Amino acid sequence: MNKWLDGSGDERDIVISSRIRLARNIEGMKLPQHIEESEGKKVVDMVSNAILKNSNIPEDEFTLYKLEDMSNLDKNVLVEKHLISPDLLKKPQISSFLLKNDEKATIMMNEEDHVRIQVLLSGLDLEKGWNICNNIDDIIEESVDYAYDSKFGYITSCPTNVGTGLRASVMVHLPCLVLTKNVNRILQAVNQLGLAVRGIYGEGTGSLGNIFQISNQITLGESEEEIISKLKGIVIQIINKEKESRKILLSTKKIELEDKIYRSLGILQNARILNSKETMNFLSDICMGIGMEILKQIDINTIYNLIIDTQPANIQNIYGKELSTTERDVKRAELIREKLNN
């Protein structure tokens, strides 16, 4: 079970998650790309103390993890769960993170910037995510001086983050826009409106299982609230287009659609070997079936959790040992049978 995937938030049949991320750097210190190990550890001490020694935060609300003390498997499990970024793994000797006990907030230290605050929530819930993230940011800023320019805003390693330092994103499942071959046209229009479209694990990753991440690209010249409002408005339009496509397919190709969904369900309930890619495609069909009320006996949150739990590192973590590719494929099929046949 993934704690942040708690079944809350709006539009759950299409929106898997909402994420808010703030990038910050500390005044007078070299950026992480050029930092010495001793200075990098000083960043970790400053930021972690701002949270762990704050009297307004319960003692056990956040836990500090140092990457150099973690196994590769444990680190990759957290990347697959979307709790830390792949970029955080690049400098394990100086990189650490604070994880909230409900796993909805992570404070990464010495990733691309000194501080990356991330809030991850189930469903469409950008405003709540922003409020949580902003509150954590304010707490850190009480004892840490951020690098800030009165003209340009918060100073960041990448120029595209200068300004608010805010990156808001929504992970959406769009199977019917893909089936009706409308997805490319719509996502191109989204790009033209100043938003970015990426795969399930962010920049440089492809779309698996008809899952896409929609995020803002501009952080300068707009307030945080304006960025979030614009993103939410466009995401709602995309959601409505997906819903329209679902209605069209139900009225014109219902039997073919049911056949596709039930075939995928049959394979998942009975297969003995499943690789990652085919699993994502079959799980996408099940999500579609649940969203269209063709499958009523399965909760969509079960499928969203399986999307994460069947990734390579998570499979090994669940079964408590390192596995070969073939062993993973066998255990993946076993886990899915267990979840879908109960």
Q: Which residues are annotated as a binding site for ATP?
A: 17-21, 82, 116, 167-171, 198-203
Q: How many CB atoms lie within 10 A of CB 306?
A: 23
Supply the angle between the helices 183-192 and 224-252 in degrees, to the nearest 10.
170
Q: What residues contact residue 203 under an 8 Å CB cut-off, 6+ apart? A: none
SS3 sequence of 139-151: HHHCCCCECEECC
Reported as type and span, the H/E element at residue 199 is: none
Dihedral sign, CA of 312, 315, 319, 320? positive
Distance, C-alpha 41 to centroid of its chain: 27
What are the distances in angstroms from CA 211 to CA 1, 174, 264, 335? 20, 6, 17, 22
Among 164, 100, 99, smallest CA distance to 134 is for 164
- Quick check: helix, strand or coil at residue 97? strand
Q: What residues contact residue 253 under an 8 Å CB cut-off, 6+ apart? A: none
- CA–CA separation, 32 and 314 (whole Å): 29
Q: What residues contact residue 341 under an 8 Å CB cut-off, 6+ apart? A: 269
Helix, strand, coil % (nearest 5) of the chain? 50, 20, 35
- CA–CA separation, 250 and 111 (whole Å): 46
Q: At 46, which amino acid appears? A: M
